[in-house]
Amino acid sequence: MLRAVWKSRELQSVRNRTARIKPNDVLLFCTARNEQIRLPYFLNYYRDMGVDHFIFVDNASDDGTDIYLADQEDVSLWRTDGSYRAATYGVDWLNGLLRRYGHGHWTLVVDPDEFLVYPFCDTRPVRALTDWLDESGIRSFSAMLLDMYPKGPLNTQTYTAGCDPFESACWFDSGNYTLKKNPIYGNLWIQGGPRSRVFFADRPEQAPALNKIPLVKWNWRYTYVSSTHALLPRGLNQVYEDWGGEKASGVLMHAKFLDMFQQKATEELHRRQHFAGSAEYLAYADPETAQPDLWCEWSEKYKNWHQLDELGLMSKGNWT
Amino acid sequence: MLVHRDLHRAKQVARHWTAAGCPVVLHVDSNVSDASFDTFRNAFADDPLVRFCARHRCEWGTWGIVAASQSASELLLGEFPDVHHVYMASGSCLPLRPVQELIDYLAARPRTDFIESVTIADVPWTVGGLDIERFTLRFPFSWKRNRRLFDRYVRLQRRLRVRRRIPDGLVPHLGSQWWCLTRQTLSAILQDPLRPRYDRFFRRVWIPDESYYQTLARRYSSDIQSRSLTLSKFDHQGKPHVFYDDHLQLLRRSDCFVARKIWPRADRLYRTFLSDKAGKMKQAEPMPGRIDRVFAKAAERRTWGRAGLYMHSRMPRPGREHGVTAAPYSVFQGFADLFTDFEPWLAKVTGAQVHGHLYAPAGAEFAGRQRHFKGSLSADRAQRDYAPQSFLTNLIWNTRGERQCFQFGPADNQAVAGLMRRDQNAQISIISGAWAVPLFRSNRNFADLRREAARLQKIESLFIADLRAVESKAKVRIWTLAEFIESPMEHLQQITEEIGTRDKNRVKEAPTMSDLTGFAQFLQNLKNQGMQPYLMGDFAADAAPLNRAEPPRKPFLVR
């Protein structure tokens, strides 16, 4: 938490519209770097879901991301040129803002390529979910990161701003995930999916973590530990039932694998700002997998949240 | 109508009742600010059928709710002498059928009290383990705000064996607080000369709103229908289920008069049901059963979960899985060693999905030797061996509805053995010692063969011992190789029947058995090299080879 306070000094306010936040508003927090092309669809997706206000940290974008965001009426924007890695992959910046603006609100912390799907999201706004969580005395809501990919090499279809990225990237791995409990923070550690299958075939232990807890009824005492994989205090990580039943949960659909991916991977590799010496990005930039086809004959095509619930990738729990 | 928040919805519903000619008395929680209350009250200034009663603090589980309903009832009965039934509702109740239908329904049953009222002994839904103790202990501390104090005080009273006396003539009953009573019954309760005594008693009862009227109605009513006209469902924590826009059809089909709780932002529900003049439902009895099923399923999902599923909100600790895997599957050890075409044969006979050695050292051998299988499971060795147990639970989960069979053997990764052992879905058939057949047919140096045979025998005997242990839950069948080849068809028949053969006829074709001529000698050779192959059972040794001119010496006999 001290890190968060310290690191939030790196943030410089560009557009602060937080005075417009009303007591029960649902807030979204996000760090972005050169994501201009993704943002129009991203913002609309979450607006439709019922998110009331967006709080962005722009990490030295040079593609107009900052200008675009500053223009949006429901966005408050901070900017930093600081190091993403030194800020624990952006989490310190967000922890600082969460502490200041998130207290008492339901807060959603996602990346610009992550799209939350929860039970009944096609018929109920996110307020229905958070009201229900409140009534049930639940403070945190889990959503597994689900990597979505197109069929064929990534560069065959060009993504245009404002479009649904899952129109082409509509495939996913439905049942090759492994779960472990992390004894330190009590969270689950989930790996698997297409990234493990293709990029980390021979060293699955290094595959990226897919467990996330993006939706939290924030309190100034809380803090994310590493990305949104784990929180403190530890009780917030108890998003799973270990006596046999199922708690309600969602999925974060991950639109990472679009045609911009290769370029992004190379760029990120040069910046060396990612986890474990950017091992993940090294794998992506590997010439052998330079034009990877993540699709296999057992890939599942995305239909709706019912399908994800049926496949056991998320659960309605006892919400009906 | 008891109201404590979302006053705009309460206003809509109250207007709906009065529009149909039903007088409404509103009780507004004293927690609501005076400003909001005044606005709320002024909104009804033009409505002669609306009254406001004295305000109480309604905290869940406390007397305040009963006090509120008493004040409201007294006012209603006093101000509107024509009223013959009084319906208890809340601000988040929504009438589902035209009010006139309810009026007609009640008019046809002028003497009937609709109040769920069940004796303590028969109530399955007490949460927190308090049943008769609701009446015999005292509860001065708030359960919501001072849970610890509440629990401690309960424990203390239990230890001291403190018992309150239930007033004579009262038999405690419980039930939903959303009742509909006749004027006669309700006024009898409110005007009872003993009421101060009863009130004093119920003031200290736990959740009196679920027992006060339910108990007292039994004293005065001549005709109790023990059910609520309000559809109200509770989850496993005792918290009411909430209805949303997408429940519209479900609510319509229920034929219930009133439902709660409605999510205050469920615009479509409010719009539809508050304007539904036409009476979309037939003149039917309320049928909450359909909705019951939906909620029962939800409760089961939350408390029991889907067997064999491991995911980010279901990670059962060992022993709490309610089924280690999702469905029955068959494991064959030694069959593919003995029969050259066992896989295709089994697939043909049973129609099941038959894999090779899923835990083979080089990688998983999926059916058809595909690189991936359902759920995009990878055949890659490293991927599988990273979490060998998840590999199996994933496979069985991914293929629900289709029987899976696979080969297993002592040469395979044994890390999954422990999971299969405690899984009652595992059906394991073993021909022990059959691993020796491929060794026998191979063209390797005998020293290697001997070492390998010793290794495999050790692993297999350990596996078998584990399966035979008391804690083992798997269905296990073990034959020695010698035993099995005596009548292979009989044993195969037994196994395929368990899986379910494609047609009900007996298995006609047999799989092709490896040629075992000379196998006994091979075993003898192993013995001669100092290794004792015992798992395959007794093979009558062929006559010892006559490669010497002189007659064999008389063997030693050990007695």
Predicted confidence band at A82 (pLDDT cuts at 50, 70, 90)? confident
pLDDT number for residue B509: 81
Are the beta carbons of A273 and A192 closer than 8 angstroms?
Answer: no
Mean pLDDT, residues A182-198: 92
Rg (CA), chain A: 19
Half-sphere exposure of B248 (CA within 13 A, CB side): 15
Partner A, chain B 231-290, Cβ-Cβ below 8 Å: 235-237, 239, 241-242, 244-246, 263, 265
Q: Residues of chain B whose pLDDT is less than 70?
A: 123-129, 276-283, 501-507, 541-559
Q: Three-class SS of residue B7?
A: helix
**CA pair distance B491, B496, nearest whole angstrom:** 9
For chain A, how many residues are written? 320
Partner A, chain B 334-373, Cβ-Cβ below 8 Å: 370-373
The structure tokens 């607006």 sit at A47
Mean pLDDT, residues A209-221: 96
Question: A47-61, A79-93, A275-289, B121-135 — which is least confidently predicted?
Answer: A275-289
CB atoms within 10 A of CB B283: 10
- Contact between B311 and A249 using a beta-carbon 8 Å cutoff: yes
**CA pair distance B438, B440, nearest whole angstrom:** 5
- Contact between A246 and B239 using a beta-carbon 8 Å cutoff: no
- Contact between A317 and B294 using a beta-carbon 8 Å cutoff: no
**CA pair distance A268, A278, nearest whole angstrom:** 8
All structural domains of chain B: 109-228 (no CATH), 329-528 (3.40.50)
- Contact between B301 and A173 using a beta-carbon 8 Å cutoff: no
In chain A, count H helices and then E strands.
9, 16
* Residue from B256, B228, B259, B227 nearest B243 by CA: B259
Burial of residue A205 (number of CB atoms within 10 Å: 0-12, 13-18, 19+): exposed
Rg (CA), chain B: 37
**CA pair distance A173, B122, nearest whole angstrom:** 49
- Contact between A197 and B376 using a beta-carbon 8 Å cutoff: yes
Please report which residue ranges of B407-473 form alpha helices under DSSP H: 417-421, 436-441, 446-468
Q: Which residues of B touch A124 (CB under 8 A)?
A: 244-246
The one-letter amino acid at B546: L
User: In chain B, whose CA is at the least distance from the CA of A199?
Assistant: B383
Q: Which site among A246, A296, A308 would you substitute to test the B interface, given the most B Cβ atoms closer than 10 Å to its Cβ?
A: A246
Are the beta carbons of A264 and A135 closer than 8 angstroms?
Answer: no
The structure tokens 């018929």 sit at A123
User: In chain A, whose CA is at the least distance from the CA of B315?
Assistant: A242
Q: Does B5 touch chain A (CB under 8 A)?
A: no
Question: What is the nearest CA distance from A308 to chain B, expressed in angstroms?
Answer: 12
> Order of strands across the sheet with B224-225?
B85-87, B180-182, B113-114, B224-225
Q: Which distant-in-sequence residues (6+ apart) come within 8 Å of B139 by Cβ?
A: B61, B150, B153, B154, B204, B205, B206
Half-sphere exposure of A319 (CA within 13 A, CB side): 28
CB atoms within 10 A of CB A101: 19
Domain ranges for chain A, please list them: 1-112, 114-315
- Contact between B246 and A124 using a beta-carbon 8 Å cutoff: yes
The structure tokens 């429901």 sit at A74
A242-270 pLDDT tens trace? 999 999 999 999 998 887 777 777 777 77
Please report which residue ranges of chain A form alpha helices under DSSP H: 2-7, 39-49, 65-70, 91-97, 126-136, 193-194, 261-271, 275-285, 305-310
Q: Which distant-in-sequence residues (6+ apart) come within 8 Å of B96 by Cβ?
A: B231, B251, B252, B254, B256, B257, B258, B259, B273, B281
For the domain made up of A1-112, the CATH class stated in words is alpha beta
- Contact between A135 and B242 using a beta-carbon 8 Å cutoff: yes
The one-letter amino acid at B464: I
- What value does the mean pLDDT of chain A take? 90
DSSP structural state of residue A241: B
**CA pair distance B96, B231, nearest whole angstrom:** 10
- Contact between B383 and A204 using a beta-carbon 8 Å cutoff: yes
pLDDT number for residue B558: 46
pLDDT number for residue A1: 66
- Contact between B298 and A319 using a beta-carbon 8 Å cutoff: yes
Nearest CB among B298, B312, B321 relative to A320 is that of: B298
DSSP structural state of residue B540: P
Q: Does B390 touch chain A (CB under 8 A)?
A: yes
pLDDT number for residue B559: 43
The one-letter amino acid at A305: W
Question: What is the nearest CA distance from A259 to chain B, expressed in angstroms?
Answer: 22
